[in-house]
Structure 1
Amino acid sequence: MIKWIAAVVGLIYMRIPGAFIGFFLGSVIEVLFRRNGATSSNDVFQMFQQKERVSPGDFELNLLSLCSIVIKADGSVSQGELDYVRSYFVRAYGKERANATFRTFNDVVKNRQIDSGRICAYLHMRTTYEVRLQILHFLFGIAQADGSVDEDELRELSKIAGHLRLNRSDFESIKAMFFKSADKAYKILEIDEDVSDAEVKKAYRKMAKKYHPDKLEHMDEAYKKGAQEKFTQVQSAYEQIQKERGF
């Protein structure tokens, strides 16, 4: 069926040569789809529509691998950081499942070298941008669990954000949520201090939409809570600027 459709399309655009090319390419596509288990035109359509997703177990282990990179970035393993991660996973998956995952974490992940680029490439192909933003926010939380985010941890976080294909402006926005500075509110909203009131309002609407908890409604409770934390920070930043400017 596909080869004949492709042949007709080729005929319309390139006449007889196009029909031959379309028939050939359509035949190749049919063979490839049969190898992947597609047996009808509806199966083929679904294969085009589906996005490969990461399984819950793989997501947990890959996330824990990134956690271990951040935890070890400053050359020491802080109990506060480990407790932060465990608490997060208990909230997300329940105590029993979190403990089972952490046994793997203790036995394997903590004792080997981990390639953040490979892990992030895997997650990039299988998660939404909003989920990857939440991953970065969570990793910043780990780094701060021992009291502060140091330069080595920040360097690793920056590298992970790049591997996850997150925009630099989004990295700086989330970073600002964990650092005190005079222009913190503006950094969270991804704007400069000299922008107009109208641009502040526009930036707030954009960031509120980006960080809205509904973007993670398919995720576990801990991830929704993390999204709510970011959303609250955006609201607070906007309210602070409103108060300072009096609009």
Structure 2
Amino acid sequence: MSVFKWIGATVGWSLGGPLGAILGLALGSLGDAFSKEENLFNLGEGDKKKRRPSPNYSYRNQTQPGDFEVSLLVLASVVIKADGKQDQRELDLVRMQFVKLYGKERANNAFKVFKEISKQQISTRQVCLQIQQRMEHASRLQLVHFLFDIAKADGEVHESEESQIHTIAGYLNISYRDYESIKAMFYNSSNSAYKILEITPEASVDEIKKAYRRMAKKYHPDKVEHLGEAHKKGAEAKFKEVLKAYEQLQKERGF
């Protein structure tokens, strides 16, 4: 399988702007970025037409799987360098997470691109601005969730990693409550269940029930069904955390 086939779906808006420049340099470094059969505007298997976003393109349309995965690769490279260094152990952990998401063959190709991306100096703000403008809210929430998942691959989310993800979430226009909800899924604390449901410990039983229904709707896997099965499974993990938090409060509060 060519490295260009790893995305496995049409790439659209991520071929322009900062993301396109980063991806182009990474693929060029691999030595076959402009082969006769394939090029940067023909990464996906689902659309064989060359396509480049209009320079004036700024409205948000439905994110394609390839757009999401390119965004994840770039932002994951930012997170693992949050402490100012990057070692082979961290790279191995990221690769393991890709295997969990995409399967071995697809992950191997994604990881080739990721290693080239991780060598670059990336403007986090510019990249996030492109993503924020063109990726719908549910997909951006899923992106932050996956970044925490990658950060915790070694067993814990380090302070520098959390700080970097917090910065990314801000640039992605993720609200404080949404960010704290996702963050709480990766920490064990006395009030994690409340944070996941975006309520306080003073919430009434009725407020807890309403919060659960609201969060279940917000994090429902169908929200990211268009991203493909791998990402839908990731959303299911987030959805289960909401259910787990609700069941914990049911037990603690006796309702």
* TM superposition score category, shorter chain reference: 0.7 to 0.9
Give the match for residue 54 of structure 2: none
- Closer/same/farther in 2, CA of residues 215 and 54 from structure 1, 3 Å limit: closer
- Per-residue deviation at 1:146? 1.3
Which of 105, 112, 117 matches 2:114?
Answer: 105
Give the match for residue 120 of structure 1: 128
Conserved 8 A contact 1:71-1:78? no
- Closer/same/farther in 2, CA of residues 54 and 214 from structure 1, 3 Å limit: closer
| CA displacement, residues 17-51 of structure 1 (integer Å, 9 cap, x when unaligned) | xxxxxxxxxxxxxxxxxxxxxxxxxxxxxxxxx84
- Closer/same/farther in 2, CA of residues 183 and 118 from structure 1, 3 Å limit: same
* Alpha-carbon distance between aligned partners in 2 of 1:196 and 1:59, rounded to the nearest angstrom: 38
Conserved 8 A contact 1:169-1:190? yes
RMSD of aligned alpha carbons: 2.1
User: Is 1:61 matched with 2:74?
Assistant: no
User: Is 1:153 matched with 2:161?
Assistant: yes
Secondary structure at the counterpart of residue 111 of structure 1: coil
- Closer/same/farther in 2, CA of residues 241 and 83 from structure 1, 3 Å limit: same
| CA displacement, residues 110-144 of structure 1 (integer Å, 9 cap, x when unaligned) | 11111111111111122211111010000001111
* Alpha-carbon distance between aligned partners in 2 of 1:202 and 1:72, rounded to the nearest angstrom: 39
Which of 232, 235, 241 matches 1:227?
Answer: 235
- Closer/same/farther in 2, CA of residues 147 and 75 from structure 1, 3 Å limit: farther
Give the match for residue 173 of structure 2: 165
User: Is 1:86 matched with 2:74?
Assistant: no
Secondary structure at the counterpart of residue 244 of structure 2: helix
Output aligned runs, 1:15-94, within 5 Å. 51-52=60-61, 56-77=65-86, 79=88, 81-90=90-99, 92-94=101-103
User: Is 1:211 matched with 2:219?
Assistant: yes
Which of 186, 207, 210 matches 1:202?
Answer: 210
Q: Percent identity?
A: 55
Conserved 8 A contact 2:65-2:227? no
* Alpha-carbon distance between aligned partners in 2 of 1:212 and 1:227, rounded to the nearest angstrom: 7
- Per-residue deviation at 1:76? 3.7
- Closer/same/farther in 2, CA of residues 81 and 132 from structure 1, 3 Å limit: farther
| Greater RCO structure (CA 8 Å; 6+ sep) | 2
| CA displacement, residues 39-83 of structure 1 (integer Å, 9 cap, x when unaligned) | xxxxxxxxxxx8445555444333211001111112343555434
Q: Which moved more, 1:166-175 or 1:87-96?
A: 87-96
Higher Rg of the two aligned structures: 1
Secondary structure at the counterpart of residue 192 of structure 1: coil
- Per-residue deviation at 1:151? 1.4
TM (norm. structure 1) is: 0.73
TM (norm. structure 2) is: 0.71
Which runs of no fewer than 5 residues in structure 1 stay unpaired? Answer: 1-49
Aligned residues: 197
Q: Which moved more, 1:212-221 or 1:235-244?
A: 212-221
Which runs of no fewer than 5 residues in structure 2 stay unpaired? Answer: 1-58
Conserved 8 A contact 1:88-1:222? no
Give the match for residue 146 of structure 2: 138
* Alpha-carbon distance between aligned partners in 2 of 1:80 and 1:214, rounded to the nearest angstrom: 34
